Amino acid sequence: MKYLKHHQLVLRFVYQHLSRNQFLILSGILVGLSAGFAAIILKYSVHKIHLLIGHQLEIFNYPYLNLFLPLVGILITVWVVTVFLKGKDGRGVSNILQDISQRSGVIPKYKMYAQLLTSAITVGFGGSSGLEGPIAVTGGAIGSNFARTYRLSYKERILLLGCGSAAGIAAVFNAPITGVMFAVEVILVGVVFSDFIPLIIAAVSGALLSKIILDDDILFDFKNLQEFDHRNVPYYLLLGVFSGLVSVYYARATHKVEYFFTKKLKWNNYSKALFGGLIIALLCFVFPPLFGEGYGSVKLLASGNPQNILKGSFFNLNGYNDWMLILFVGLIFLTKVFATSITLASGGSGGNFAPALFTGAFMGFFFSNLINKLDFINLPVNNFILVGMCGILSGVMYAPLTGIFLIAEVTGGYELMIPLMIVATVSFAIAKVFEPYAMDVKHLMAGKKIFTEDYDQNILTMIKPHEILNTEYDIIYENNSFADLLTVLKKSTKNIIVCKNEQEEYVGFILFNQVRKLLFNPEMHQHTNIKELISTTTYRVEIHQSIDLILNKFEESDLWYLPAFDNDDFVGFISKTQLLSAYRNKLKLTLS
């Protein structure tokens, strides 16, 4: 603890003696190393859990015992979340995006370790999900809390949040450009920023640390490629279309499974975990490659001996043949989405990054082998495996640049750049036609809870109704006399007065401008009834409504004040003037 405080004092001293840009570069390095180290811990932990479990199963010598390991992992994860994290696991990149939009990039501290713990348990025990999403969440939380510790501005906090996520992804794949692209396309979408240097340096720091510490068998890499042949372009176009359709299937199947577990299945968390774990056990029995992240199975496909993935499956009972392998692979890429969504919906932890790559690899193998088997042309299978990974990642996460540069970096070159660009673009375009938003953020986009590419809309999203709610107002009762109203007006500094009945219920309001002429006409004072001056409107604001909806009501009503309610209880007024002022303040915040 003393070391931590000393470390903070040193950095604060450095902060005071460096320029802003110099300190941001230093911060990018520190955040990048921290996020990279977190990624290393997570990958290494899962690797060691796999080795330990494999050794224990050899002792028991029971071939199907591993089928129930995902069930154990999901149950332990639910227990950890319930007991240690008090129900707050903070999983999902969508939560980070919501923190950026709704909390100005302030991420709770528990997210710096929650996903490391829960996803390591789930994936380590064979849960069919990925580690990249949790690493992005962890890295983002590290960057955000670093900025909070040194009281950096909003813009710098968002930048370091992106640095953390970029470094985490870069460390997982030893791919710094991919980390930067992921941060720009997924994490910082809709955020205006100009400081790319700290982002790049953070990604390089995370990737370099990963390269130094992790073994090559833990990292994800490919070397078996063939040269690009322009005559295969039509088939890459077909693969792009196929990838887009499979991506839509992936997204919609995921939503159906999540809806079933969260809305239809009225069980407690442990019962859901037990039920989901048993389904995963059954799926892994039929399709063994669904066990865990699946990167090992992807490497088998590209090894030259893809029939090895049939080992342990009843598809191999009658011996190996090409059509059986194609059928097996086809069923796996269609089933993977259910294995992943059930793992997560039943209480497990993880993300969809690795499952999307897995699905794309098996889809690319299926597509190219089917074409080859039908003797249309001899396609390079390994190339189509890799390009298929890019296609599904682009169509599922709506991150085509991330997919393109990921495959380029893990293969150690840019030989496949043209087919990668073709498939990524076509897949993304096809998916966009059916689903306007990526599956992880669809529900948040619909509720305007995260940023979009519309910058003005993003500024409005940052404004909360309670920030512009005017709860200080003067009151007049509908049965009072005009003389009472004059007394209130003399003491008031407001332009609006609330009218209530004897039951203290809101009736309407009186604007000062409405009674201005009456003030200089004493003859009208005795003949004027308060009820005659009350203004009412059918437009009202609910305090939990979005600012976007409130702004629309101002435009439709042509009013400068709208009454605000919490259910049926009157709580104050929201003025258009305060709304516009809040917009200007938020705009200054993002540009500072």
Q: In terms of pLDDT, which residue wins out, 519 or 549?
A: 549
Q: Do β-strands 561-566 and 569-575 pair in parallel, antiparallel, or remain unpaired?
A: antiparallel
SS3 110: helix
Question: Average pLDDT for residues 224-252, to the nearest whole number?
Answer: 91
Per-residue confidence (pLDDT) for residue 397, from 0 to 100: 92
CA atoms of 65 and 71, how far apart (whole Å): 11
Contacts (Cβ under 8 Å, ≥6 apart) of 558: none
The answer to whether 100 touches 161, Cβ cutoff 8 Å, is yes
pLDDT digits (tens, 9 = 90+) for 156-169: 898 999 999 999 99
Indicate the residue type of 89.
Answer: D
State yes or no: pLDDT of 253 exceeds 90: yes
Phi-psi region at 399: left, alpha or beta (left = phi > 0; alpha = psi -120 to 50):
beta
φ, ψ of residue 219 in degrees (nearest 5): -80, 165
Let me know: does 292 contact 50? Beta carbons within 8 Å.
yes
pLDDT of 536 higher than 50: yes
pLDDT value, residue 297: 86
For position 384, what pLDDT does the model report?
93
pLDDT tens digit sequence for 374-405: 887 889 998 999 999 999 999 999 999 999 99
Strands 561-566 and 541-542: parallel
**pLDDT tens sequence across 351-361:** 899 999 999 99
Question: Where residue 37 falls among pLDDT bands split at 50, 70, 90?
Answer: very high
Across the range 83-88, mean pLDDT stands at: 86
Could you tell me what percent of the chain has a pLDDT over 70?
Answer: 88
Which residues, 6 or more positions from 503, have their beta carbon under 8 angstroms from its beta carbon? Answer: none
Contact 119, 4 (CB under 8 A): no
pLDDT tens, residue by residue, 447-482 = 667 766 666 677 777 788 878 888 888 888 888 877
Tell me the pLDDT band of 178, cut-offs 50, 70 and 90: very high
Q: How far is CA 68 from CA 53, 60, 125, 291, in A?
A: 12, 14, 9, 10
DSSP structural state of residue 130 = B
In this predicted model, what pLDDT tens digit does every residue of 478-516 receive, in sequence order?
888 777 777 777 777 777 888 888 888 888 888 777 777
pLDDT at 220: 61
The pLDDT tens digits of the residues spanning 124-151 come to: 998 999 888 999 999 999 999 999 888 8
CA-based radius of gyration for the chain:
29
Q: Which domains does the chain have, with CATH numbers?
A: 2-213 (1.10.3080.10), 230-453 (1.10.3080.10), 463-591 (3.10.580.10)
Query: In the chain, what percentage of residues exceed pLDDT 90?
Result: 37
User: Euclidean distance between the first and final Cα of the chain, in Å?
Assistant: 33
| Residue 90 near residue 111 (C-beta atoms within 8 A) | yes
Give the confidence band of 294 by pLDDT, cuts at 50, 70, 90. Answer: confident
Q: How confident is the model at residue 299 (pLDDT cuts 50, 70, 90)?
A: confident
Which residues lie closer than 8 Å to 490 by C-beta, 6 or more apart?
A: none
Work out the mean pLDDT of the chain and round it to a whole number. 84
Question: How far apart, in whole angstroms, are the C-alpha atoms of residue 444 and residue 546?
Answer: 12
Residue 60: the pLDDT is 47
Q: Is the pTM of this model over 0.85?
A: no
User: What pLDDT, on a 0 to 100 scale, did the predictor assign at position 301?
Assistant: 85
Structure tokens at 252: 């919609």
Closest CA to 448 of 439, 461, 436, 462: 461
Q: What tokens were used for 367?
A: 């597509």
> Shortest CA distance to 358 belongs to which of 424, 411, 291?
291
Three-state secondary structure call for residue 563: strand
Token readout for 286 is: 């039929």
Most confident of 86-95, 324-333, 469-478: 324-333
Nearest to 275 by CA among 128, 65, 74: 74
pLDDT tens, residue by residue, 38-65: 999 998 888 888 777 765 554 445 556 7
Angle at 259 between CA 258 and CA 262, to 5 degrees: 80
User: Which segments of 374-481 does DSSP mark as H helices, in order?
Assistant: 381-397, 400-410, 417-434, 442-446, 455-462
Q: Which two tokens stand for residue 232?
A: 């295969």
Residues in a beta bridge with 469: 574
Nearest to 286 by CA among 445, 67, 496, 526: 67
Confidence category of residue 319, pLDDT binned at 50, 70, 90: low
pLDDT of res. 431: 95
The arrangement of strands across the sheet holding 569-575 comes to 469-470, 569-575, 561-566, 541-542
Say which residue, 496 or 82, is predicted with more confidence. 82
